[in-house]
Amino acid sequence: MKGVSLILVCFAALVGVSVLSLGVGRYPVSPGDILSWLVTGGSADQNLPVVLLGIRLPRLVAAIAAGGALSLSGAAYQGLFRNPMVSPDILGVSSGSGFGAALGILFSLPVAAVQAMSLAGGITAVLAAVLVSRAIGRSSDSVLVLVLSGIVISSLFGALLSLLKYIADPLDKLPAITYWLMGSFADIRTGELGTAVAMVLAGAIPLLLVSWRLNVLSFGEEEARSLGLHTGRMRLAVILCATLVTASMISICGIIGWVGLVVPHISRFLAGANHRRLMPVSFLVGAAFMVAVDTVARSAASVEIPVGIITAVLGAPFFIWIMKRSSVRAW
Partner 1 sequence: MVKAREQSIAIRKAGLGYNGKAILDDVDLQIAPGEIICLLGQNGAGKTTLFRTMLGFIAPLRGSVSLAGREVSRLSPKEIARIVSYVPQSYAMPFAYSVTDVVLFGRSAHLGLFASPGSRDRRVAAECLDLLEIAHLASRPFNELSGGERQMVVIARALAQEARFMILDEPASNLDYGNQVRVIRKIRELAGCEIGILMATHHPDHAFMAASRVAVLSGGRLSHDGTPEAMLTPETLRHLYGVEVQVFDTPQNGHASRRVCAPVVE
* 81/139 Cα distance (integer angstroms): 15
Question: Interface with partner 1 includes 319 (CB under 8 A)?
Answer: no
Return the number of other C-beta atoms located less than 10 Å from residue 170's C-beta: 10
Residues 6+ apart with CB under 8 A from 224: 216, 217, 231, 234
Length, in residues, of the chain: 331
Question: Interface with partner 1 includes 329 (CB under 8 A)?
Answer: yes
Question: Interface with partner 1 includes 230 (CB under 8 A)?
Answer: yes
Q: Closest distance between partner 1 and the C-beta of residue 224, in Å?
A: 8
Pick 25 or 272: Cβ nearer partner 1? 272
* 102/124 Cα distance (integer angstroms): 15
Give 295-300 contacts, CB < 8 A, sequence gap 24+: 295/17, 295/20, 295/21, 295/24, 297/184, 297/185, 298/25, 298/59, 298/185, 298/186, 299/24, 299/25, 299/26
* 207/79 Cα distance (integer angstroms): 12
Pick 107 or 212: Cβ nearer partner 1? 212
Pick 268 or 298: Cβ nearer partner 1? 268
Which positions from 259 through 288 interact with partner 1, judged by CB under 8 A?
Answer: 268, 272-274, 276
Question: Interface with partner 1 includes 210 (CB under 8 A)?
Answer: yes
Taking the CA of residue 36 as centre, how many other CA atoms within 13 Å lie in the half-sphere pointing to its CB? 10
* 71/68 Cα distance (integer angstroms): 5
Q: Which of 74, 79, 150, 260 binds partner 1 (CB under 8 A)?
A: 79
Pick 216 or 245: Cβ nearer partner 1? 216
Applying CB under 8 A, the span of 12-20, 80-88, 168-176, 283-291 interacting with partner 1 comes to 80-88
Q: Closest distance between partner 1 and the C-beta of residue 271, in Å?
A: 12
* 331/312 Cα distance (integer angstroms): 22
Question: Interface with partner 1 includes 324 (CB under 8 A)?
Answer: no
Pick 64 or 76: Cβ nearer partner 1? 76
Residues 231/81, Cβ–Cβ less than 8 Å:
no
Applying CB under 8 A, the span of 7-15, 40-48, 152-160, 209-217 interacting with partner 1 comes to 209-217
Q: Which of 11, 179, 319, 331 binds partner 1 (CB under 8 A)?
A: 331
Applying CB under 8 A, the span of 90-98, 158-166, 218-226, 239-247 interacting with partner 1 comes to 218-226
Return residues touching partner 1 (CB under 8 A): 79, 82-84, 209-210, 212-213, 215-216, 218-219, 222-223, 225-231, 268, 272-274, 276, 329-331
